[in-house]
Each structure stands twice: as C-alpha cells, then as structure tokens.
Amino acid sequence: MDFISGEIIGIDKPLGWTSFDAVKRLRGAIQRRLRVRKFKVGHAGTLDPLATGVLIVCTGRATRQIEALQNGSKEYVAEITLGATTPSFDLETEIDATYPWEHITLDGVNEVLPRFIGKVMQVPPVFSAVKVDGKRAYNLARKGKEVELKAKPLEIKEIEVVKFEAPVLTIRVVCSKGTYIRALARDIGVALGSGGHLTALRRTRVGEIHIDDCLSVDKAVEIISNGPITFPDDYKINNAVAEAAE
C-alpha cells in the first residue's frame, strides 16, 4: 500500500462507533507503520454511531478526492418500526408518542413508497449536525431548545420493500448525498397514517464501493500493520510526511 500517494479504503463501520473512531484507528496504525507522529487520513460521508456499513477512508494525497467520493449515490437498508416516534427519529432518544399501526398492509406500503421517489424536499432531524445560527442543531435539541430547520432538496432514486412483518418495515433506498434516512422513516410513518422511527440502518454502497468490497476495522489495521508498503517515486521522508500531514 502507498499511504502517501494515497489509498482509498472501504471500511465496514461497526455499530456504536463514530466515523471518527474508525478513522482514528486506521490513522494510528499508519502512523505506527511509517513511524511518524502525524498523518492525514479522512473519511467521505459520515455514518451515525447507530448505523453500520460502508465508510470510505482516504489516506495522504487521496484525501483530495473526499468531496467527489461523498457526492456519489448511497444505498441503505433501513429498518423502520411503525406505530411509534422518537424526537431523534431513531433509537438515540426514547419513544415520545405511539400510534395505531394495525391498519397498515403490504399493499398500503407499496402504494405509499413511490411518492418518495424523485427530487423531493426533506426537513432534517433536529438531532443532526445541521447548523442553526452557527450552532449544531443536535446541541440545541439536547438542551431542550426549540429548533426549526428548513427543508432541503435531495433525490431518492430507488426505494423498495425488503421485508414487512408489521409493525417492522425493512426497505432498500438509493439516494443522493444529504439524505437523512431517519427523516425518511418519519415521513413514511406519517404517509401510512401512523408514526415511525428508524431502528436499524446499514449503508451497503457509496458510489462504486459496495459493502462486499469493504474490510472490517481489524482486518484493515492488520493489512496496514503487516502488508507490503510502497512509496511514491518522489518520496523523501520529511517532505512526503509533511505534505501528507497537512
């Protein structure tokens, strides 16, 4: 691997980890392998701690490609529990309201889902990193302050039922950057005449990188620590490491 010229590594992010946790683990392994104190490593597209799946990690000069990589379409498999809502639209917060769900059928779900396909406007969750007057919305929400977010444009390219065992609905979604699947769970619940919140989420693809192409964090660290490494032709330890660490 040539960490300085840049590697793009697909990681299967574990449940409970932040995206930064995964980046920190890989950066530490690279720093130990190169025997340097600093090195530039970043990720393309954040995953919440309660989500698993594809996280693209870039090293060295490949970090310049992060913006382009995170603009790619994303595919998710999402589990939505109908009949209840939470303030965060997922399991981060406790249920705050319950609704009837017994009337919901598979035919009803298949009738509603196509409404969400195409270019739509979506209001992000208040428990999100969206900034309001320079402050993160989730910080304000956790302090009990009222947060009003504006709808943002996005595109949902595909959406289909994977499984429906009422009140749990599992769907596959292909969407653009900036889509909050938690907010989609909320909106689907409303469209079905009930409520809904996200109870599991797995990102299965980002651009051309599929979950089947990804490594566990431990496997990536093992390869970084023990696999063959190469250096760019213009490699000079001081200059190359300084550039990669910028």
Active site residue 48: yes
Query: Going by DSSP bridges, is the β-strand pair 8-13/51-59 parallel, antiparallel, or unpaired?
Result: antiparallel
Contact 197, 86 (CB under 8 A): yes
Helix axes 19-34, 217-226, angle to 10 degrees: 10
The burial of 200, by beta-carbon neighbours within 10 Å (0-12 exposed, 13-18 middle, 19 or more buried), is given as middle
Of the candidates 55, 44, 67, 77, which has an alpha carbon nearest to the alpha carbon of residue 220?
Answer: 55
Say which of 48, 107, 212, 234 is annotated catalytic. Answer: 48
Tokens 């990720």, residue?
43
Q: Which segments of the chain are extended strands (E)?
A: 8-13, 41-44, 51-59, 74-82, 84-85, 97-98, 118-122, 131-132, 135-136, 152-165, 168-175, 196-206, 209-210
Q: Report how far residue 73's alpha carbon sits from residue 95's, in angstroms, rounded to the nearest whole number.
A: 31
Q: Please give the Cα distance from 224 to 226 (Å, whole number).
A: 6
| Enzyme catalytic residues | 48
